[in-house]
């Protein structure tokens, strides 16, 4: 029997070039959607999926992420003396929530390389990978949906979503056959092949891999076996393709909405929708939007 998935790796060492100049001196993972940094949504998703051990792969200029999940004595003292109990609880809940470790990726050499940096902290057990800039709004957390399938097959599981065919070249695509799982025939797939950023006409499907994975520790050997691509980057998709030779990999077309918060338009869409849903902001924000006469 496979051990339980206890750890989630958050690669957060990318350069965030799509969000320059905002990301010149601050990590994109710390950009707020309404009032919460992007990465905290991902950490909360992991927690709600039953994972408390968080491993964040950071790079240069990412110390704000460490500060965010650390205890802030000065801030807590100030809020305590000013009797701001609600804010104190919000600030404390962040550092109390998780057991967090950090590992550094000195150079942004790709997602595969970032995951490999977590090898020692993960050890020989299955683990999740969360790309926090893929913000997912779902009734059952996306990671939980993957873990449910993992616990059945005990093999790696990736999250996928349907995208318009002309957009597939921005993603990794899967060639896969639907399989029956718990009576559902249309959400779980067994992967036959993976292709990183295919041209629309060459894509095996319009099922795009997005930023949630449950992996088994053999992926580390596969990452070490693949040849770096352009710019010396090691792609996780290439490592998964390598792993596919020796074990099955599954995909789940998750239920929920994904926002690419690492991209300006995706970030704006998430901001508007999350703000509209907030009990304290939704109504006045909607009133304001109506005045725009769009
Ligand atoms: P992205 O493809 O979004 O790249 O990485 P990026 O560098 O962060 O952003 P852009 O494209 O330049 O705007 C997907 C995830 O993988 C992490 C990123 O932090 C992000 O969470 N990543 C990527 C690393 O940790 N290390 C890398 O070398 C590359």
Give the whole-angstrom CA distance, residue 235 versus residue 288.
43
Burial (0-12, 13-18, 19+ Cβ within 10 Å), 26: middle
- Interval 161-187 mean pLDDT: 88
Does residue 17's CB lie within 6 angstroms of at least one atom of ligand 1?
Answer: yes
pLDDT in tens, 119-169: 999 999 999 999 999 999 999 999 999 999 999 999 999 999 999 999 999
| Domain around 18 | 7-284
- Rounded to a whole number of angstroms, the distance between the first and last alpha carbons of the chain is 56
Domain count, the chain: 1
> Does 97 reside within a domain?
yes
Global pTM?
A: 0.94
> What value does the CA radius of gyration of the chain take, rounded to a whole number of Å?
20
Does residue 133's CB lie within 6 angstroms of at least one atom of ligand 1?
Answer: yes
> Does 292 reside within a domain?
no
Q: From ligand 1's centre to the CA of 113, what distance in Å? A: 11
Ligand 1 pocket test, pick from 232, 262, 263, 266 with the greatest ligand atom count within 8 Å of Cβ, gives 262
C-beta of residue 157 within 8 angstroms of C-beta of residue 189: no
Q: Can you tell me which atom of ligand 1 is nearest the CA of 27?
A: 19
> Does 96 reside within a domain?
yes
> Does 289 reside within a domain?
no
> Does 1 reside within a domain?
no
> Does 258 reside within a domain?
yes
Does residue 131's CB lie within 6 angstroms of at least one atom of ligand 1?
Answer: yes
> Does 293 reside within a domain?
no
Q: Quick check: 207 pLDDT over 90?
A: yes
Tell me, what CATH number does 32's domain have? 3.90.550.10
pLDDT in tens, 225-278: 998 987 789 999 999 999 999 999 999 999 999 999 999 999 999 999 999 999
């Amino acid at each position: 029997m496979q051990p339980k998935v206890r750890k989630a790796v958050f690669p957060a060492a990318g350069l965030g070039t799509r969000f320059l100049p905002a990301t010149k001196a601050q990590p994109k993972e710390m950009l707020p959607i309404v009032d919460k940094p992007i990465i905290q949504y991902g950490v909360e998703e992991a927690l709600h999926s039953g994972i408390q051990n968080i491993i964040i792969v950071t790079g240069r200029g990412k110390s704000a992420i460490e500060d965010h999940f650390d205890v802030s004595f000065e801030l807590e003292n100030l809020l305590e003396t000013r009797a701001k109990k609600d804010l104190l609880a919000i600030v404390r809940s962040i550092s109390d929530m998780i057991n967090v470790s950090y590992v550094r990726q000195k150079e942004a050499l790709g997602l595969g390389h970032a995951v490999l940096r977590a090898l020692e902290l993960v050890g020989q057990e299955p683990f999740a990978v969360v790309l926090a800039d893929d913000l997912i709004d779902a009734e059952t957390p996306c990671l939980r949906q993957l873990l449910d399938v993992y616990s059945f097959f005990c093999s790696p599981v990736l999250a996928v979503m349907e995208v318009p065919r002309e957009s597939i070249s921005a993603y990794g695509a899967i060639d896969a056959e639907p399989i029956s799982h718990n009576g559902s025939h249309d959400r779980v797939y067994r992967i036959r092949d993976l292709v990183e950023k295919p041209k629309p006409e060459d894509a095996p499907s319009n099922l795009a891999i997005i930023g949630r994975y449950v992996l088994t520790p053999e992926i580390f050997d596969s990452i070490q076996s693949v040849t770096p691509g352009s710019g010396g980057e090691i792609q996780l998709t290439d490592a998964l393709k390598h792993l596919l030779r020796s074990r099955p990999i599954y995909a789940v077309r998750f239920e929920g909405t994904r926002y690419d918060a690492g991209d300006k338009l995706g970030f704006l869409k998430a901001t508007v929708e999350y703000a509209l849903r907030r009990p304290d902001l939704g109504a006045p924000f909607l009133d304001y939007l109506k005045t725009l006469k769009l």
